[in-house]
Amino acid sequence: MKRLAPGLAASLCAALLLTAPGCVSRYKLDAEAPTYAAQAKLAVKVNKTGVRTLRVEMIHLAPPTKIDPANKGYAVWIVVPGLPTVLAGFLDYSTRRRRGVLVATTPHAKFEVQVTIEQNRSVTAPGPKVILRKIVARS
């Protein structure tokens, strides 16, 4: 078996380091009350300009109206200390599959993701029913 030339090995290592920003950080966690059965998968990927793409997927998630008939959906928030909390959007929820997905972007390297149950789709701040919290950091 032939060995790689030292220059080629160094080039491969450098190429791997340069493509590292494309790596994905993944988190798995369980939701809190009242959605005990729900599980979340978070993925954060940094592009070459430093913008992070956040993908939130929740499975085994009860329809929000089954928890309270007044509920309208699951909101995803991006919280950065010292800055206003930002509504990333509402999970695209499938009642048949009991699954919700959202893809959003943020320029912040460290932030907290919160998922709340909301009774109004025009909310400007997270409500009190927080079912998921996770601090994510991707440099």
User: Domain spans of the chain?
Assistant: 21-137
Q: Which two tokens stand for residue 128?
A: 């009190």
Q: What is the pLDDT of residue 23?
A: 78
Task: Encode pLDDT of 21-54 as tens digits.
Answer: 557 899 999 999 999 899 999 999 999 999 999 9
- 105 membership: H or E segment, kind and range: strand 99-106
Give the C-alpha separation, 75 to 118, whole Å: 7
Give percent above pLDDT 90 in the chain: 80
Q: What is the pLDDT of residue 109?
A: 93
- CATH ID of 21-137, from 2.30.30, 1.20.950, 2.60.120, 2.60.40: 2.60.40
pLDDT higher than threshold 90 for residue 95: yes
Cα 103–Cα 43–Cα 39 angle in degrees, nearest 5 = 90
Q: What is the DSSP code string of 83-113?
A: S--EEEEE-EEETTTTEEEEEEEES-SEEEE
Give the C-alpha separation, 131 to 138, whole Å: 23
Pairing of strands 39-46, 52-59: antiparallel
Q: What is the pLDDT of residue 14?
A: 39
* Residue whose entry in the numeric block shows the structure tokens 């997927």: 57
Average pLDDT over residues 55-68: 97
Average pLDDT over residues 84-95: 97
